[in-house]
Chain A
Amino acid sequence: MALLSLRSVSKSFGALKVTDDVSFDLQPGEALGIIGPNGAGKSTLFNLITGNLRPDAGQILLDGRDVSADSVMARCAAGIGRSFQIPQPFGHLSVYENLLVAARFGGGLAAAEAPEFCMDILRRTGLAGVADSPAGGLPLLSRKRLELARAMATRPRVLLLDEIAGGLTDAECVELVATIRAIHAEGTAIVWIEHVLHALNSVVNRLIVLNFGRLLMVGDVKTVMNSAEVREIYLGAEV
């Protein structure tokens, strides 16, 4: 059974259809990329999956169960983890505390297990050295890492990454991709929205192309990237 399924999901803001009859399945442990021009409705799709937005029509299923009416918190506890496009740290809390909140609430860990669990994630994401520093003072790369680390601390079965590689230097990007690949290798399913295609394509198996809220194409990376339609609409290239 698919881990996450979207069935004919639609969402409008007034007259504007930002998500138009989108359906796809995500298998356990799969890594799926979502691409499309700005304004194609990629982040809206994430907000529908996490519960920040309710679909006007259609269903969102987790393990075959309809979660369309569940709260953001309930979906997090059920295994949907999410990193924000613009990092949203708890600025006055330390980096470690940022993870502790996530582990104790979304991750459902007890007081005794949470500290080591959080430290383990901090080490893997390269944040152990700043564990006790206030999260509000971190530079961009560390903020992006914190987004990833905090989402990991909720113990997700599917991790939604929203342009996590955006704004990083190439060297920083390589490091982050290595971390994401390691997380994926351990069996966490990933849905990743990204404009930095070389980073994305080095991790995901399949790509979804969105345009004007519609699902334009689904397929393996090579097929999608070579399709004339995608090159024209997404990359703006001459056919």
Chain B
Amino acid sequence: MMKTSFPAYRPLALAVLCAAALALVPLIGPRAVVQDLFGILCLLVLALNWNMLAGFAGLVSVGQQAFVGIGAYTMFAAVILFGLDPLAGVLLGGLVAMALAVPVACFVFRLNGAYFAIGTWVAAEIARLGLGQWKALGGGTGTSLPKGTTRDMLGVGPVKEWLGVSSAAASDILLYWLALGLVLVTLGVSWAFLRSRMGLGLQAIRDNAMAARAVGVDPVRLKALVFLLTAFGTGLCGGLLFIQITRITPDAAFSLLDWTAFVLFVVVIGGIGTLPGPIVGVVVFYALERLLSDYGSAYLIVLGLFGIAVMLFARRGLWGSLSGRTGLELLPLGHRAPASASAVRP
């Protein structure tokens, strides 16, 4: 079956339109919506990263909360211990997460499949227990960002003046825009990466690792690269998230439920191994969350049932199934043969 794809500019135009609409939300929407959407955008960043890891590199990690927590703790340390701007702390958080991903990779890359998943989870637990010992950051009970940290954050002043809102609202808006920017950058980098030589190699490995090696593709090298890059993105997101949360504890920063289980749900229902999948997944997740927010824990039960239903009846996720059925491709990753090929098509 031939796949049809929009001309290249269409998805780009669509993306620009959506991004512009989302960027305008803080100007018209109430603050609660901005805060809500900030959380959703961060969830999308985590989902895009996990999708690269599990969907494209075949590394099914259930320990990505390790890098959220490390990013968050690094940001706190930067602010509290070194008096840096929280946004500088976010950047440091990404870098530290990537640096710590090296020893983690040395450990978990010796494992395969289910053992790899367990290994990543163990690494995350070690990080959680380890940081719980850091007395300067509150040990096991955690700590808060000093008062005024977000108010004095880089960029809050201009936003406040420009929009004529309170400091607290301005910091919310700024964080929201940063999260939106992070989504767009992550999406753009993912697409460019998957279209590159390395992305092609990654897709070859996914189809047949033995044959990939035989044509010169080094699976360990490519997977390690994806592991490090996604640790960076996940660490950045962790730092950003906890500026808004303003309070950190080891349990919250390394929460398996918040930073991995929900992420997994989003990617799986949206369509693992497709680029638009996590976006579809996060929209569905947000809708379900809004619809069911009044029903307490029943919300988690419905979420679980929905996830199971998708896994049973639409195994490639909502986007994957739609794309497979209609041949629609929004962010095509393929490389078409040069034009001379179609001339001899029988």
Q: Which A residues are closer than 8 A to B by beta carbons?
A: 50, 52, 71-73, 76-77, 82, 84, 88-94, 96-98, 100-102, 104-108, 111, 115-116, 118-119, 122-123, 128-129, 131-132, 150-151, 153-154
Establish whether residues A88 and B211, one from each chain, have CB atoms under 8 Å apart when the complex forms. Answer: yes
The listed residue with most B CB atoms (<10 A of its CB), out of A73, A76, A102, A108, is A73
Chain B residues near A90 (CB-CB < 8 A): 203-204, 207-208, 211-212
Given that A52-B210, A96-B335 are contacting pairs, would A77 and B203 also be in contact in the complex, using a CB cutoff of 8 Å?
no
Chain B interface size, as a band, is: 20 to 34
Bound-state CA distance A222–B197 (Å) is 47
Which residue of B has the minimal Cβ distance to A84? B211
Q: How far is the CB of A118 from chain B (nearest CB, A)?
A: 8
Chain A residues near B340 (CB-CB < 8 A): 119
Which residue of A has the minimal Cβ distance to B219? A73
Chain B residues near A128 (CB-CB < 8 A): 337, 341, 344
Establish whether residues B334 and A101, one from each chain, have CB atoms under 8 Å apart when the complex forms. Answer: no
A-B contact pairs, 30 of them (CB 8 A): A50-B214, A73-B216, A76-B215, A88-B208, A88-B210, A88-B211, A89-B207, A89-B211, A90-B207, A90-B211, A92-B207, A93-B200, A93-B203, A96-B335, A96-B337, A97-B334, A97-B335, A101-B204, A104-B197, A104-B201, A105-B216, A105-B217, A106-B217, A115-B338, A116-B338, A118-B337, A128-B337, A129-B346, A132-B2, A154-B216
Chain A residues near B208 (CB-CB < 8 A): 88-91
Establish whether residues B341 and A101, one from each chain, have CB atoms under 8 Å apart when the complex forms. Answer: no
Bound-state CA distance A86–B286 (Å) is 47
Establish whether residues A101 and B212, one from each chain, have CB atoms under 8 Å apart when the complex forms. Answer: yes
Chain A residues near B197 (CB-CB < 8 A): 104-105, 111
Residues 92-149 of B at the A interface (beta carbon under 8 Å): none
Establish whether residues B215 and A153, one from each chain, have CB atoms under 8 Å apart when the complex forms. Answer: yes
B325 located at the interface, meaning its Cβ lies under 8 Å from any Cβ of chain A in the complex: no
Q: How far is the CB of B194 from chain A (nearest CB, A)?
A: 12
Contact with A along B165-209 (1 / 0, CB 8 A): 000000000000000000000000000000001001101101110
Chain B residues near A97 (CB-CB < 8 A): 200, 203, 334-335
Establish whether residues B215 and A102, one from each chain, have CB atoms under 8 Å apart when the complex forms. Answer: yes
Establish whether residues A100 and B200, one from each chain, have CB atoms under 8 Å apart when the complex forms. Answer: yes
The listed residue with most B CB atoms (<10 A of its CB), out of A89, A97, A150, A151, is A97
B213 located at the interface, meaning its Cβ lies under 8 Å from any Cβ of chain A in the complex: yes
Q: Which B residues are closer than 8 A to A by beta carbons?
A: 2, 197, 200-201, 203-204, 206-208, 210-218, 334-338, 340-342, 344-346
Establish whether residues B337 and A131, one from each chain, have CB atoms under 8 Å apart when the complex forms. Answer: yes
Pick from A76, A92, A116: contact of B216, CB below 8 A: A76
Which residue of B has the minimal Cβ distance to A88? B211
Bound-state CA distance A232–B8 (Å) is 64
Chain B residues near A129 (CB-CB < 8 A): 341, 344-346
Which residue of B has the minimal Cβ distance to A80? B214
Bound-state CA distance A229–B221 (Å) is 48
Establish whether residues B341 and A131, one from each chain, have CB atoms under 8 Å apart when the complex forms. Answer: yes
Establish whether residues A154 and B344, one from each chain, have CB atoms under 8 Å apart when the complex forms. Answer: no
Q: How far is the CB of B346 from chain A (nearest CB, A)?
A: 5
Bound-state CA distance A77–B218 (Å) is 11
Q: How far is the CB of B106 from chain A (nearest CB, A)?
A: 18
Establish whether residues B337 and A73, one from each chain, have CB atoms under 8 Å apart when the complex forms. Answer: no
Which residue of B has the minimal Cβ distance to A94? B334
Q: How far is the CB of B211 from chain A (nearest CB, A)?
A: 4
Q: How far is the CB of A49 from chain B (nearest CB, A)?
A: 12
Which residue of B has the minimal Cβ distance to A97? B335
Pick from A71, A88, A96, A98: contact of B341, CB below 8 A: A96
Bound-state CA distance A104–B345 (Å) is 25
Establish whether residues B211 and A96, one from each chain, have CB atoms under 8 Å apart when the complex forms. Answer: no
Bound-state CA distance A90–B204 (Å) is 6
Chain A residues near B341 (CB-CB < 8 A): 96, 119, 122, 128-129, 131-132
Establish whether residues A84 and B214, one from each chain, have CB atoms under 8 Å apart when the complex forms. Answer: yes
Q: How far is the CB of B313 from chain A (nearest CB, A)?
A: 22
Q: How far is the CB of B222 from chain A (nearest CB, A)?
A: 10
Bound-state CA distance A93–B215 (Å) is 14
Bound-state CA distance A60–B215 (Å) is 19
Bound-state CA distance A196–B242 (Å) is 67
Establish whether residues B338 and A73, one from each chain, have CB atoms under 8 Å apart when the complex forms. Answer: no
Establish whether residues A154 and B215, one from each chain, have CB atoms under 8 Å apart when the complex forms. Answer: yes
Bound-state CA distance A82–B211 (Å) is 9
Bound-state CA distance A72–B208 (Å) is 14
